[in-house]
Chain A
């Protein structure tokens, strides 16, 4: 089941998007999310849709793979849309039993659905095209100024990358412990929620013990290799903005300015009766 969730996975192909600096992609995602929630206009959404579609094309990640990511959130999506549809106050359009559908409800249900879909598509596109390491590197550099207010930026980034390194190891270990406990008669599958939760104890305790042991070993290995925090450390793969990244920033700014302009001057554009 875990394998079905494609959000947050890296999709290894070689595209312009993959080669961009991770900082560009992080900033772009942030800007994109803001642009989705900025205005509720028809023309604005055309701009957003065109932008998203062209980025998906550029990324060379197959559309099918991207849409699979939506599967994980489809329930949340339906819930928000349905609640918006039936529970909004306003001018009543029609009734279904005791539920009434209002103009405003239809409107916000539609927009909420589109917004959430775009939000997921946009942010998962970032993880599809950026390796976890690049992502933590990018975050470290972007958050670097926060060190002034004593945020341990380097330490957080180091923790993230170590966590990423150990996820597969700990998964494997979980599997091993599970089999070992099953061989001794542990039952992880039958019973209700409470019984199952209780059944996890003989799995979690050894897992935690081993995780702490690993952490201890790793800390020692890191110290033995002269690790002493971020101070005076150089980078094997430092981040440098290239021409490509500058162009990407320019395109991004043009897009963002465009969305804002559409939002402001919408009333001068040919009237389209979308705002029911």
Chain B
């Protein structure tokens, strides 16, 4: 079953001067089509200005297509009556952890979404508790968000989305402002939710090591999808990836260089263990 379906999507940022005449048109997304199945872990990568954030905002109906159509759970995002159901079923986590926490107590912030949906009080409490447990932040429920680390704040933000019982979470560079520890925290939380709660995940990032566990990766460049496939398929095409100004995980790059130098190992190695295994096999 398709969770998200994007068909020939195009989006233009139109800049107008003071008289209201069009000054310039910036085509941020230019003919993108993609399908995401329920339960998938999808990653979208791309350099700055590649249109990946703009794409994410279409899935939450924050932006509307200039051309083409976006369906979330079979609902067209352009239709006004679908708006709240789409925003509930496709929750969105943003880049800056401070600017998306509304309340001054962790549990109240997690309760904000369900409050907006008109969920009865007792159920809000249940949802808050289960979502905080799911991201491992239950012990901080009575604290002020100001006292949390960036990674913890981002997990609270994820819990706030989880409390709305979404089918899908769109994360728009959730780790861009975090330190390496915080990044690990957030990514493992997302993976856990994907595997144990069956949440469809759409992760937008420019850190390549965050996408190696994804089911499918899309690479964006200048508003178009230029590469797609499993992480393994993608990382066996290192020169191409570098062309799009993206990094490659260290292990993968090392394996690639070894292979180029004539060592007989398989293509697209993503994990350290994998490389060690390949090298051991070589000796045997």
Interfacial residues, chain A to chain B (CB-CB below 8 A): 132-133, 161-162, 164-165, 168-169, 214, 217-218, 220-228, 232-238
Contact = CB atoms under 8 A, between A and B. Distances in A.
Main secondary structure of the interface of A (DSSP, over half): helix
Contacts, number: 90
Interface string B110-148: 011111111111001100100000000000000001100
B115 A169 contact: no
A100 B62 CA distance: 71
Interface string B69-90: 0000000000000001001100
A236 B114 contact: yes
* Most central of B92, B116, B117, B160 by chain A CB within 10 Å: B116
A226 B113 contact: yes
B11 to A, nearest CB: 16
Contacts of A221: 92, 94, 99-100, 102
Given A220-B94, A235-B115, A236-B111, A226 B102 contact: no
A221 B94 CA distance: 7
Contact of B104 (A132, A217, A218, A232): A132
Contacts of A164: 104
A5 B99 CA distance: 28
Nearest to A227: B116
A224 B60 contact: yes
B84 A228 contact: yes
B118 A168 contact: no
A225 B160 CA distance: 8
Nearest to B57: A220
Contacts of B124: 234, 236
Given A221-B94, A221-B100, A225-B91, A234 B146 contact: no
B116 A228 contact: yes
A139 to B, nearest CB: 15
A164 B146 CA distance: 12
Given A224-B87, A226-B84, A238 B121 contact: yes
Contacts of B111: 236-237
A224 B62 contact: yes
B164 interface: yes
A85 B88 CA distance: 65
Contacts of A161: 103-104
A221 B128 CA distance: 18
A227 B118 CA distance: 10
Q: Interface size bucket, B side?
A: 35 or more
B99 A217 contact: yes
Contacts of B120: 234
Given A218-B99, A225-B102, 17 more contacts: A165-B145, A169-B98, A214-B98, A214-B99, A217-B99, A218-B100, A220-B62, A223-B62, A224-B94, A225-B112, A225-B116, A226-B116, A228-B84, A233-B115, A236-B107, A236-B124, A238-B121
B42 interface: no
* Most central of A132, A226, A234 by chain B CB within 10 Å: A226
Contacts of B113: 225-226
Contacts of A217: 94, 96, 99-100
Contacts of A228: 84, 116
Given A221-B99, A234-B115, A234-B120, A226 B88 contact: yes
Given A234-B115, A234-B119, A234-B124, A133 B108 contact: yes
A168 B99 CA distance: 13
Contacts of B107: 236
Nearest to A225: B113
A227 B100 CA distance: 12
Nearest to A237: B108
A237 B142 CA distance: 13
A164 B145 CA distance: 12
Interface string B39-67: 00000000000000000000010100000
B161 interface: yes
B14 to A, nearest CB: 18
A228 B100 CA distance: 16
A213 to B, nearest CB: 8
5 contacts: A165-B145, A226-B164, A227-B116, A233-B116, A237-B121
A248 to B, nearest CB: 23
B4 interface: no
Contacts of A223: 62, 87
Contacts of A237: 108, 111, 121
Contacts of A132: 104
Given A225-B161, A226-B88, A165 B101 contact: yes
B246 interface: no
Nearest to B147: A168
B187 interface: no
Contact of A236 (B62, B96, B108, B164): B108
Contacts of A227: 112, 116
